[in-house]
């Protein structure tokens, strides 16, 4: 890619602008949109040029005339609740995930006007692959193919870059010729990706691209490295910690006792879940000490409220994750301005896309692909 040419993009369902941060300085945001007031304020707080291109409101109310020029990329991190295993699995007909078709209506209009984005990335939860037995993923691929896009998918876990377990689907579609150098094997072509491909009808499978991309360097950060200093943290009272420990199964309590006996320091993520034991549903607290936080989610109660448990020199303390810790787990810089309320901050972070995953995708596939397109245009 030429240093003198900055690639342009539209960012739909932009949230706090995490895809924009991941794309980086080589890209120019021509348009961004989100309907959530908290996310919209956060976006404006972090990007000085937001007034020039950010539109707050329902994607269904946007018109093609709201989108300037022809972008190199359209990024859509559409609402995922209807695809998530934690949701009702309503699929593409669900109220929130149907927002995808609000986005797609605009893409169809741009194609008709001769302004189709050269590439499209749709990011969502892994449940997209299997929602309604794969019918929803087939519908997405059918929509892309109907407008002349070839496509493929990768399953990228943020844990490859950050101490957070956060697998996500990235469907990368293009209307341009794909260089052989960008096709081949990738560690992000997981079993779920291959099974999703195999479920597609033959005509759609014929348009599939096996996107190539080597795994990033092994991450060296652990959950404990991203935590706030103990002195300023809002710890639970001892009684609350005792209640959480009492909810643990014998296996998890034994793990805590092992860490206490070791006398060092360990930090883990803790969730409350419903389990069936001896035919009876019981609530359990479960902790992981593998250096990873669980998938960061929006704080809407229940198991979505991630708790930290810290064992240090024989003592056990617990507390809720802070907004700034959530931001670090998403790869956001310390300078990123968060809402003051922790619930709002975690709302922005938990609905976002991991910044380093976007950067990897941009460096590995998007920028080489679009640079090749530019060279082909110049030669023509």
Please list the active-site residues.
Answer: 80
Q: How far is CA 87 from the centre of its chain?
A: 16
Q: Which helix (H) or strand (E) holds 144?
A: helix 135-146
Alpha-carbon gap, residue 176 to 327, rounded angstroms: 35
Name 71's Cβ contacts closer than 8 Å, sequence gap at least 6: 8, 9, 10, 30, 31, 117, 118
Contact 285, 248 (CB under 8 A): yes
**Pair of tokens at residue 155:** 């399953």
Give the chain's radius of gyration (CA, Å).
22
Q: How would DSSP label each residue in 157-209?
A: EGGGTSSB--EEEEEEEESSPPPGGGBS--TTS-HHHHHHHHHS-HHHHTTB-
Strand partners, 165: none
Alpha-carbon gap, residue 94 to 328, rounded angstroms: 31
Alpha-carbon gap, residue 235 to 191, rounded angstroms: 40
What is the b/e burial string over 187-220, where b = at least 16 CB atoms within 10 angstroms of the residue's CB? ebbbebbeebbebbeeebeebbbbbbbeebeeee
Alpha-carbon gap, residue 265 to 312, rounded angstroms: 4
Alpha-carbon gap, residue 319 to 55, rounded angstroms: 37
**Pair of tokens at residue 364:** 């590995």
Contact 13, 33 (CB under 8 A): yes
Helical pair 191-199 and 135-146, crossing angle rounded to 10 deg: 70
Contact 15, 34 (CB under 8 A): yes
């Amino acid at each position: 890619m030429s240093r003198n040419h900055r690639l342009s993009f539209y960012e739909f369902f932009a949230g706090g602008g995490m895809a924009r941060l991941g794309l980086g300085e080589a890209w120019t945001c021509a348009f961004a949109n989100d309907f959530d007031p908290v996310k919209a304020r956060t976006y404006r707080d972090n990007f000085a040029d937001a007034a020039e291109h950010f539109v707050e409101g329902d994607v269904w109310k946007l018109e093609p005339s709201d989108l300037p020029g022809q972008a190199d990329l359209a990024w859509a991190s559409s609402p995922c609740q209807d695809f998530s295993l934690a949701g009702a699995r309503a699929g593409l007909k669900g109220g929130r995930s149907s927002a995808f078709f609000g986005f797609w209506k605009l893409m169809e209009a741009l194609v008709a006007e001769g302004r189709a984005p050269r590439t499209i990335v749709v990011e969502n939860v892994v449940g997209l692959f299997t929602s309604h037995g794969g019918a929803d993923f087939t519908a997405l691929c059918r929509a892309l193919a109907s407008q002349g896009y070839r496509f493929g998918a990768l399953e990228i876990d943020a844990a490859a870059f950050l101490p957070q377990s956060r697998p996500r689907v990235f469907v990368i579609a293009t209307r341009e010729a794909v260089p052989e150098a960008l096709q081949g094997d990738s560690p992000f072509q997981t079993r779920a990706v291959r099974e999703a491909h195999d479920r597609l009808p033959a005509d759609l499978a014929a348009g599939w691209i096996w996107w190539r991309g080597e795994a990033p360097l092994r991450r060296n950060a652990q959950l404990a490295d991203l935590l706030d200093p103990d002195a300023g943290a809002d710890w639970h009272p001892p009684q609350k910690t005792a209640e959480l420990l009492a909810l643990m199964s014998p296996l998890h309590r034994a793990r805590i006792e092992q860490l206490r006996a070791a006398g060092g320091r360990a930090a883990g993520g803790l969730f409350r879940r419903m389990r069936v034991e001896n035919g009876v549903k019981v609530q359990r607290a479960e902790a992981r000490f593998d250096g990873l936080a669980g998938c960061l989610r929006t704080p809407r109660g229940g198991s979505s409220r991630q708790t930290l448990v810290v064992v240090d020199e024989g003592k056990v303390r617990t507390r809720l994750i802070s907004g700034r810790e959530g931001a670090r787990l998403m790869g956001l810089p310390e300078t990123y301005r968060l809402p003051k309320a922790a619930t709002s901050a975690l709302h922005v972070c938990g609905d976002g896309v991991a910044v380093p995953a976007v950067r990897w995708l941009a460096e590995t596939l998007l920028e080489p692909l679009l640079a090749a397109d530019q060279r082909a245009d110049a030669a023509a």
